[in-house]
Structure 1
């Protein structure tokens, strides 16, 4: 049982303390590659800005998510949203894959038609049973294999292909979640409040809501909300707001031809000069310089 959640480590990937600051980041690996040398045990930890799904093909695991434990045998999918404490004790030689996805990639999906299918899947921890559903699992596994190939090779359209594959995997998981019956982990109040905070930031970041406004919307105090945010996501509320603004600014600079002034106004900045200072402080370079560097040809 987890009692002191503030002491639970945050990782990018398990055992790697650094966060990969890449809104298009994804990673896939087989369970054996990270677990075998650790005696098949992954201690309790959490990911601040990464969503994970584990697909078990064969073997088994004792899974801890927040304060709940569940024993799984055979073919399962395990859904682990960002901020949820989780740990595993795998049966030796368990065959499976772990997909790790940057939350901004999920936020992009939320704005698409896929949102009504994907959002219920990724918003809370759950287990999806594939035992007795071999035909469905046989559709899922080739998608994982193709995603592995995309992660291992540098090819044109790699990121786009990976996004399509990830969407297909998530949609198939949601179908199976509905078909087999949802086995939730009884999401904790902390996890629910964290999810609500992220949804509010996504809705209001361009309005530059203050930490106090988010706290009021959630019916709590600023100090309590900051404690929750730091414990679950390793960031203050203010940092989360700034990170979301910075991410959208970078996307606009890379993928649109709009001027810095236009981008500043679209993101709710009344003064383009203040936007430029905000961007340089957060990223290390002025927005114009960032655009130049980002659009330089590679290779």
Structure 2
């Protein structure tokens, strides 16, 4: 009987993010998946194959791979590799105050492999700088988030140039969510000069989710930030997000988190 797929959790720290050189002992690995985190791998040297969700990708540096939560992958690397790894836990994305990071990651939802211009020395310099920064004690969270934003911005630019399967309307939708967050699909459809039905189709194609689900991800993260970092009442948060009443808002939050807003806030005090 075949063993079940291994699930790894590579971060033990409370920071929720790890940036480090690629571990050369991981040249050959068994199929495994990740537990509640995203992994970004940047190779500047190496050859072989990366097997990701039943697709085999040739390692042709410089390039990046993005491995999402629950995707199964393993390595077959022929030569000694040189590269970097970023591991981002869901908890980091939920608690960061910078919405831009989440927005950029959503734009990369359908990207698995991204090629990098071999003359681009700045991306490797950013990774080197972040590896150094992650070793500092105490860790400067603002610097870490700033460096991550810079890296993600470059990846998004490369992915877009290579025809990542995210159409313009989907990107515009995500940008709108980052600036004006409401629990209202019709509002965003109108802003994009389309219908709610068409916006759902756009989101399903780009992200594999309904428009409501994409909105929900943003709302839950924003609510968690407001609960943890502001003194706003639950009623005020619900009103700002255009929920009809606090009861509906509480049920909505619990549906996605298994906790009421008050329970979530108390559990993080």
* Count of aligned positions: 248
CA deviations on 1:163-219 (whole Å, 9 max, x unpaired) are 133234446x47xx98xx98954434xx44865664565567514216x95996487
Q: Where does 1:1-299 land on structure 2 (aligned, <5 Å)?
A: 16=7, 25-32=16-23, 35-38=26-29, 52-62=39-49, 72-73=60-61, 76-78=62-64, 80=66, 89-101=76-88, 108-109=99-100, 126-130=114-118, 136=122, 139-149=125-135, 155-170=137-152, 173=154, 184-188=161-165, 191-192=166-167, 198-199=174-175, 202=178, 205-209=181-185, 217=195, 220=198, 228=205, 233=208, 237-295=211-269
Gap change, CA 1:33 and 1:217, over 3 Å in 2: farther
Match in the other structure for 1:11: none
Shift in Å at residue 259 of structure 1?
A: 1.2
Describe the SS at the equivalent of 2:116. Answer: strand
Describe the SS at the equivalent of 2:27. Answer: helix
> Quick one: distance in 2 between partners of 1:65 and 1:38?
12
Preserved CA contact (<8 Å) 1:65 1:185: no
> Quick one: distance in 2 between partners of 1:106 and 1:50?
18
Normalising by structure 1, report the TM-score.
Answer: 0.58
Match in the other structure for 1:3: none
Shift in Å at residue 37 of structure 1?
A: 4.0
> Quick one: distance in 2 between partners of 1:239 and 1:127?
30
Preserved CA contact (<8 Å) 1:81 1:122: no
Gap change, CA 1:91 and 1:37, over 3 Å in 2: closer
Gap change, CA 1:255 and 1:81, over 3 Å in 2: same
CA deviations on 1:79-102 (whole Å, 9 max, x unpaired) are 64969x896653332121121345
> Quick one: distance in 2 between partners of 1:36 and 1:182?
25
Unaligned runs of 5+ in 1: 1-13
> Quick one: distance in 1 between partners of 2:183 and 2:24?
44
Shift in Å at residue 160 of structure 1?
A: 3.2
Preserved CA contact (<8 Å) 2:130 2:144: no
Describe the SS at the equivalent of 1:285. Answer: coil
> Quick one: distance in 1 between partners of 2:159 and 2:221?
33
Normalising by structure 2, report the TM-score.
Answer: 0.62
> Quick one: distance in 2 between partners of 1:255 and 1:206?
20
Gap change, CA 1:196 and 1:86, over 3 Å in 2: farther
Gap change, CA 1:265 and 1:81, over 3 Å in 2: farther
CA deviations on 1:262-282 (whole Å, 9 max, x unpaired) are 111011112122212322343
Shift in Å at residue 68 of structure 1?
A: 9.5
CA deviations on 1:140-178 (whole Å, 9 max, x unpaired) are 35314224426xxxx54553342133234446x47xx98
> Quick one: distance in 1 between partners of 2:252 and 2:37?
25
Unaligned runs of 5+ in 2: none
> Quick one: distance in 2 between partners of 1:186 and 1:255?
38
Which shifted more, 29-38 or 59-68? 59-68
